[in-house]
Each structure stands twice: as structure tokens, then as C-alpha cells.
Structure 1
């Protein structure tokens, strides 16, 4: 135990999950340390609240066993400070307490603990509880890494609880896109997205098939939603039979045709507004619809379209659309209407 206490720098050289024991009683520390060491864990010890905060910040243990009652800064305050820091907030905390009154146990959980064990400490019980929470922490960390990877490649992602439509998590890019397409939603999933999710969750769970994507359009921008994976609550979902109790990760990606519009303008020597009008003609919109989209009058759209016909050397909407579509597909072979 002394070797572990001497240098935090040695921790990286030792195998197993890293456990920080925080207790001011040497006998408790010794019993736990020996049991954990024999089970293959790397053990770090702190005997005060202040030292615990320092060691947790420096070493970032995988789990913390925290004594609730210590002189000076007690375990409740230590837990609150750890959870308030972004660097240590993810670390599961298991309280060790001799206090069995309900209010003390509730206080431990309110302070940020995921579990508690009562004194006198039973090492086998502690080990069993730790394994459960370490497994949960690894799954949560894996989800975070998945989300970060998606963001890094230009995707946005959200996690939705199907039962009440609450947005449990969203990346900054996802929040911005949802606001653009659906207005400020706060913590609620946009109704069309939630309806699509609820419609396809049963098949996604039972048949393990990827459902059709949902699309939302905003002018020349298009946002796709793909159901990626179930993030948790599988046991509850199985009980419910329809996945309504679980959270689902949805991956979003925006495709903008603004580059297409710009390319049409350059190729046909159109003004920016003429290129926009031609784009919507290609998309099959009539003058009234184009006017609504562009915030102009139908008469103005008609004038722009007449100039487009002249520059393209055609006389009809169908001919203009066909010429533009052929040029677009030559420049962007994978573009779809």
C-alpha cells in the first residue's frame, strides 16, 4: 500500500481499474486495499477530503469509495465538489457509511453518489457493487466517445427518451440545427421527429433493422435523421414490449444545395436570385410556391424565370429544368432531387 501512496506517477504502470479509497480510518483502508489489490485493482488512498480532491483531479480514478463522515471536509462535500467539476463529474462514487438512517442515505445519493455500502465493510459486497458501476461507467464513456466521434465528422447527434419525448442529450451542433428547422424546443424533441421515432422503434428493437430516415427541409437545406442505437433501459423496454422506456441515439446530418445553386448561377451566367428560381423549378415547384419560399411575389418570380429562359435558350419550364438537371448531375453525380 505504501508504494501506491508514494507516487501517483507509478499508477500508469500498474494494471487494472484505478480505485480511490477515501477514509480517515487506517483499519478500513487496510481491509479494502488488500481485497482490491488481490482482485487486480490498482489502489490509491486519501485520508482527508482535501487530499481526496487533489488525488481525484490528478489521477482520475475509475471509481471512488468515499467515507461519508470524516473530520474537516466530509464525504458529502467531497462528492459535491467532484460532481461540480467537469474533469471528475463522470467518476462513479460509492459511499461508505455507518449511518443507516434514511435521511443520511438520501443525502449520499443527492450529493452525487451512485450507491452506498454500510459499515462494517464487507469486501465481497464492495467488490460486487463496484463491478456493476464500473461496467455502467464504461458504457457511458463509450457513448460519449461515440458522440464526440460523430461530431468530429460533421454529424450532429441527440439522445431521445421515447416515453415522454425528452431530449436527454444533444450536441451544440444538434441544438443549432433543431432550432433552425423547428424553432427553439428546449428539452423537447420536435413532434415530427418523435412521431417518426415512435413509429419505427419496435421494428428497430425486434427485427434489428435500420428504419427509413426522416427528413426535414429548410429552403435549399435538408436535414436527415437516422436511428443509430439504443442507449439504455433495455430491461425496461423488454418489460414494456415496445422500447418506450428506453433512450435512443439519433444521428443527424445536414445537406445543403447552396453549392448547387451557386454552380448553376456560374454555369448559366445567372444572378443569384435567378439561380434560386431555377433550382426550385428543377425541384418541381410552381411560381406561387417559389414566391413563398423566396419571400417574393409570383409576378417577380415570373420575371426572373423569363430571364432564365432567355439565358438558357429555352421556352418552357420543362426544358429549363431538364437542361439544369443534366448540368447538375454532370457536376455532382450523386445529387438527388
Structure 2
């Protein structure tokens, strides 16, 4: 067979096929056809050896004879492969001379993805393999994407995919949904307007020059959300529509810093929180709104803070606090 005639729809480089059949002529016929088509081929002549080779080599697909002598036939091989986490995702194409409906149903119930009937026709086998290899590859990519998203969430990073032309959210991790809802009051089906405006403002430079735009930040009390444009997943159409982008978000918090500040300066929790916002440049009215108190209560807290720190003005209190914050967290910035 001329390899230049291989279909361009499937990259077979590295694809590993395990053929399981006890008939030498069948093995030779399929082995030659697959080898000429660019596949790497392993063979097994019994159920026991098939299970052993599958576990060791983890083939991309298994061509499995349904009826073989010995204690383990093809149906049992399929059931065991599907029961093992390491081989469960490998597609199985049964090769069988049994054409009764009950046998074909049994093949599918055992875990087969498809079947071909004997006598074997190599072209038919190759065509069926293409379909299932492509499906397995797509499923594997989808699984990897899901695992990546879960890993991001596990380490405190949230990710989402958005269509830049209209802001439609194509997918988002659970943590991303939670953060958007908390900081922007919406988790879909569209990206919040402020985030979409930031994205569209910087897209041209990102596409044209590959520059990473400045991160978008939002604050919620002593917690902050940072949003970064990570990468383009899919290019826009010729008319400018579409275009899929991956955004990564990370939440940071100064709550622990406020607690340490209170301990270091011998302040109550509320006094430490008020002092934190003084350092951030907030006036009493703003601080009252943030901490849920009245301006008069905030003023009383400040009077006690001045007395404990031995200062007379909020400017002096802020300066002393900044010095202490840098001692606690050298990387801290306003």
C-alpha cells in the first residue's frame, strides 16, 4: 500500500494497535495491512497474553477476536480491560464470525466500541479504527482539559473560556463561577461587562504583538481578584466573530495580614481592620461602609489606635503600620 494514500484526517504517528487472535492467517493479514498504514502493531494469541500486553503497553486500540480457546475468551478479555482503570479508556473493536444478534449485543455489553465480521476485510477494519481512534483522542484531550481545570482550582487558580466577540462564557470551573458571582454579581451566561470591556480593550495588542495586557483587579473588602489573559484557544473567523480566549483568575487576601497586624500592635480585630483601611487611604466614611459600622464608631476606634501606638495623627499611625507590615510581609504593597 502506498502510504501517500493514507487519509489526512488522522495522525497515526505513534498509534499502537494490539491484535488479539489465535489464527495465524488472521494475524498476518491484519499485521501487514496495519504496518503498511503506519501503525505500530503488537499481537497476542490468547486472552491471558492479551491482558498482559495491554497492561504493559497501553495500546491506543485493541482488535479483539471474540472466540478463542482456553479459559479466557474475547468477551472476558474486554470485561477485564474495561474493569481496570489503566485500560478502561482503550477502544475495543471485536472481530467475530458470530453474526447472531445476541452475540453482537454481548460484544457491546462486554465493553466493545464496535465489531467487524469475519472473514476480515482490512479496509473495513482500518476505517472503523479511524473513527474510534479519533474519538478516543478527543475524549483524552477533553479529559486532560478537565484535569487541568481541576488542578487550577485546587491551587487557587480559576479558569474560564470566553468568546471575545460577544462575551459568551463557553466553560468555567466551579471556582471561576464562584469568584465571578462574588466580585461581579454574575456568573453567566455572559462575561461581566467590566471584564469583557477590559478584554476587548487589550485584544488587539495581544493578537498582533503577543503582549500580555495588564491584569484586571477587583476588590472585595480585604480580598482582591486578579484576572489575567492567559492564551488564545481559537482564532476569530475572517469576519472578526468568534475567537476563544482563556482567562485565569486568582484571589488574594489580606485577612491573615490584618490578623498578624493586630497581634503585633496589640490591637483588637476591629481596630486592626480599621487601621488597615487607614493605611489604604480610606476616609472614615468609606471605612464605616466597608466594616459595617458608623463613622462615629470608626472615629472611636481610631482614637484608641492612636493611644495604643503612641501617635497623634492618622498619618503617623499609617507610617508606623507600613513599617510593621513590611517587617511581616516584605513583598507587601499598597
Which TM bucket (shorter chain)?
A: 0.5 to 0.7
Cα distance in 1 for residues equivalent to 2:123 and 2:307: 87
Specify the SS of the correspondent of 1:245.
strand
1:209 shift after superposition: 2.1
Q: Tell me the residue number matched to 2:232.
A: 230
Q: Tell me the residue number matched to 1:6.
A: 47
- Sort the Cα spacing of 1:139 and 1:294 in 2 relative to 1 into closer, same or farther, 3 A: same
Is residue 91–residue 133 contact of structure 2 (8 Å, CA) maintained in 1? Answer: no
Specify the SS of the correspondent of 2:61.
strand
Specify the SS of the correspondent of 1:230.
strand
1:160 shift after superposition: 2.4
Structure 2: runs of 5 or more not aligned: 1-19, 22-43, 68-72
Q: Does the alignment pair 1:268 with 2:265?
A: yes
Q: Does the alignment pair 1:151 with 2:153?
A: yes
Is residue 161–residue 246 contact of structure 2 (8 Å, CA) maintained in 1? Answer: yes
Q: CA RMSD in A?
A: 3.9
174, 194, 197: which one pairs with 1:195? Answer: 197
Q: Tell me the residue number matched to 1:179.
A: 181
Cα distance in 1 for residues equivalent to 2:104 and 2:217: 52
Cα distance in 2 for residues equivalent to 1:46 and 1:172: 42
Cα distance in 2 for residues equivalent to 1:280 and 1:11: 62
Question: TM-score of the superposition, structure 2-length normalised?
Answer: 0.67
Q: Tell me the residue number matched to 2:89.
A: 61
Q: Does the alignment pair 1:293 with 2:323?
A: no
Cα distance in 1 for residues equivalent to 2:136 and 2:113: 11
Q: Tell me the residue number matched to 1:258.
A: 255
* Residue correspondences, number: 277
Is residue 93–residue 115 contact of structure 2 (8 Å, CA) maintained in 1? Answer: yes
The structure with the largest alpha-carbon Rg is 2
1:162 shift after superposition: 2.8
Question: TM-score of the superposition, structure 1-length normalised?
Answer: 0.67
Is residue 149–residue 159 contact of structure 2 (8 Å, CA) maintained in 1? Answer: yes
1:308 shift after superposition: 1.1
Is residue 61–residue 133 contact of structure 2 (8 Å, CA) maintained in 1? Answer: no
Specify the SS of the correspondent of 2:249.
strand
Cα distance in 1 for residues equivalent to 2:191 and 2:104: 40
Structure 1: runs of 5 or more not aligned: 27-44, 83-92, 98-118
1:94 shift after superposition: 8.2
1:215 shift after superposition: 1.0
1:297 shift after superposition: 1.1
Cα distance in 2 for residues equivalent to 1:227 and 1:66: 46
